[in-house]
Amino acid sequence: MSLPVEKEVREVLAPYSKRIRKVLDRAFKDFLAKRGAGNMYKRTDSVDVFDSLIRAAVAEFNGKPGTVVFTSGSTARFLFDGKVLVRFKKAVKPGKGSNIRTGANDNFLDPGIPFADAPSAMKVEICWKVNELGTGYKSVHVTARNGEGHLWSFELPGGQQGIIEFPQQKSAAPQPRRRSVAKLKDTAKTKKKNGGEAS
């Protein structure tokens, strides 16, 4: 197993760039449709986006020419052209994935440890940076890691983020306005009734 080579990774992923961005667009669209009024905690948003993204990526790449999907463990991995193994990660900053220290995570980040199902593949992360509103991504980078550090990173080509429309809540049809008629007291009748004089 050799270190990931940026030029080779770029060449392998180039034909898939637009489809990868399409997966991200679909993931955020699905996330926004599901979340309703929103989650209380940002970490819940992150989990929901990640779940939507993995579902969209599996649907986009599973069983398609040039791609193999591995769904075992706590995340899915995607093999492109038998050469580049990818996992998706939310970025803490452009090009740097947010990772929790686990044995599986450390093994993936170590380029010297081969992935059992694709031992000769170069391992990289596709990291999306969430925009300020949490409604989409503002950048997508491909990053090769070496443990805690990183070897290199480049922005994934493929255009801008697709337009994501916010889900609209169905509102009830407007009710016709009722006309209110106010009755005014007739002071003359009231005084006559009470024995007084009308003025």
Please determine, for residue 159, whether its predicted confidence score (pLDDT) is greater than 90: no
Residue-wise pLDDT for 116-145, tens only, equals: 889 999 999 999 998 888 888 999 999 999
CA distance 14 to 8: 10
CB burial class (10 A; 0-12, 13-18, 19+) of residue 39? middle
Quote the CA–CA distance of 132 and 107 in Å, as a whole number. Answer: 32
Q: Tell me which amino acid residue 83 is.
A: K
Q: What angle, 0 to 180 degrees and rounded to 10, lies between the N-to-C axes of helices 17-35 and 42-61?
A: 130
Mean pLDDT for all residues in the chain: 82
The answer, as to whether pTM is greater than 0.85, is no
Separation in Å, CA 30 to CA 17, 53, 155, 164, 167: 20, 9, 24, 10, 10
More confident residue, 94 or 17: 17
Domain boundaries, the chain: 6-165
Per-residue pLDDT of 61-89, as tens digits, reads 999 999 999 998 778 999 999 999 999 99
